[in-house]
């Protein structure tokens, strides 16, 4: 199946709204046979209907997927469930809401799915991100009854593994660049860091894994103290720049969260955290796993 063009609307007004938005973006990017092409700026929307609730944060996402609309909806619903979607009432507060607005030029009207989304032309918080991503679309008149929306960029700093924004910090001298993080700069300030480089280790360097709480290479050389230094030095940056959240590359002996390689050097993952992650958690830094 060829890639199909899809436009999503994502909104939240409960809990840590920035964390909800960023986690949603990452989880959407990890859906099989799906790739995010463009993300809109962040929009703040005043509530409609029940005004006695927090303002919403909204974004639009343009992506391509090989999944059919119903399978893609299943994946979106899984993400909403993973993020403990709570929707108390119609037009009410919710932790996360992900709507499929457009899927190619398809028209679907079933009990389970309606495409195009039946309300999207009335919703400024959908239309403004849509116009931003697709500026050639003819603009419709704003409907002030359905939410006043404004583009914002909160002055929020979030730490991020340097390798996934394209900086060559991996042990082999490479990186794990992902386009979504370039797009994410529209929403927040991303602060790249690499605990291993901050520990004084060179790039490239020996591959290491965690074995019984010790960081070792294949020759059994012990790097644990170096990794502790890296955790401390990187935390100093997070503290200085008031980063309460950090996005980390999964499975790393520094940055792995709920999964690290077990020291056998045969690609075996076990439940556990990297050295820096354990340190950050003790300092009440929230971890978003990539």
- Of residues 35, 82, 99, 139, which has the active-site annotation? 99
* CB proximity list for 240: less than 8 A, separation 6 or greater: none
What's the alpha-carbon Rg for the chain, to the nearest Å?
Answer: 21
Cα–Cα dist 194/201, whole Å: 10
Q: What is the DSSP letter of 222?
A: B
Please report which helix (H) or strand (E) contains residue 282, including its range: helix 275-282
Active-site choice (32, 35, 82, 85): 85
- Catalytic residue status for 94: yes
Catalytically annotated residue among 35, 82, 87, 94: 94
The DSSP secondary structure of 70-98, one letter per residue, reads HHHHHHHHHHHHHTT--B-STT--BS-EE
Catalytic pick among 32, 35, 87, 97:
97
Backbone angles phi, psi at 239, to 5 degrees: -65, -45
CA distance 45 to 19: 17
Distance between CA atoms of 24 and 1, rounded to whole angstroms? Answer: 25
Q: Catalytic residue at 150?
A: no
- 220 vs 214: CA distance, rounded Å: 10
- Is 99 among the catalytic positions? yes
Separation in Å, CA 259 to CA 168, 183, 262, 281, 287: 23, 27, 9, 15, 13
In three-state secondary structure terms, 168 is: coil
85 is catalytic: yes
| Spacing of C-alpha 138 from chain mean position | 30
Residues with catalytic function: 85, 94, 97, 99
């Amino acid at each position: 199946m060829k890639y199909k063009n899809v436009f999503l609307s994502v909104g939240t007004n409960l809990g840590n709204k920035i964390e909800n938005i960023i986690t949603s973006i990452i989880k959407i990017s990890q859906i099989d046979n799906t790739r995010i092409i463009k993300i809109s700026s962040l929009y703040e929307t005043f509530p409609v209907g029940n005004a006695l609730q927090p303002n919403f944060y909204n974004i639009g996402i343009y992506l391509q997927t090989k999944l059919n609309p119903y399978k893609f909806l299943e994946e979106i619903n899984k993400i909403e469930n993973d993020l403990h979607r709570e929707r108390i009432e119609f037009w009410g507060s919710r932790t996360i809401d992900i709507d499929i607005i457009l899927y190619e030029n398809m028209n679907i009207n079933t009990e389970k799915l309606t495409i195009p989304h039946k309300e999207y032309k009335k919703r400024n918080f959908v239309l403004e991100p849509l116009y931003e991503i697709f500026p050639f679309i003819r603009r419709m008149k704003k409907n002030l009854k359905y939410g006043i929306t404004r583009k914002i960029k909160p002055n929020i700093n979030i730490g991020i593994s340097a390798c996934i924004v394209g900086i060559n910090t991996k042990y082999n001298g490479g990186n794990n660049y992902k386009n979504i993080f370039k797009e994410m700069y529209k929403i927040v300030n991303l602060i790249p860091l690499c605990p291993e480089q901050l520990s004084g280790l060179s790039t490239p360097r020996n591959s290491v894994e965690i074995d019984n709480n010790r960081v070792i290479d294949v020759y059994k050389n012990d790097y644990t103290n170096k990794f502790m230094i890296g955790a401390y030095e990187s935390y100093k940056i997070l503290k200085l720049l008031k980063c309460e959240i950090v996005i980390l590359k999964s499975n790393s002996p520094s940055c792995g969260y709920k999964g690290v390689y077990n020291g056998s050097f045969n690609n075996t993952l076990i439940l556990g955290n990297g050295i820096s992650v354990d340190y950050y958690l003790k300092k009440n830094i929230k971890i978003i796993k990539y």
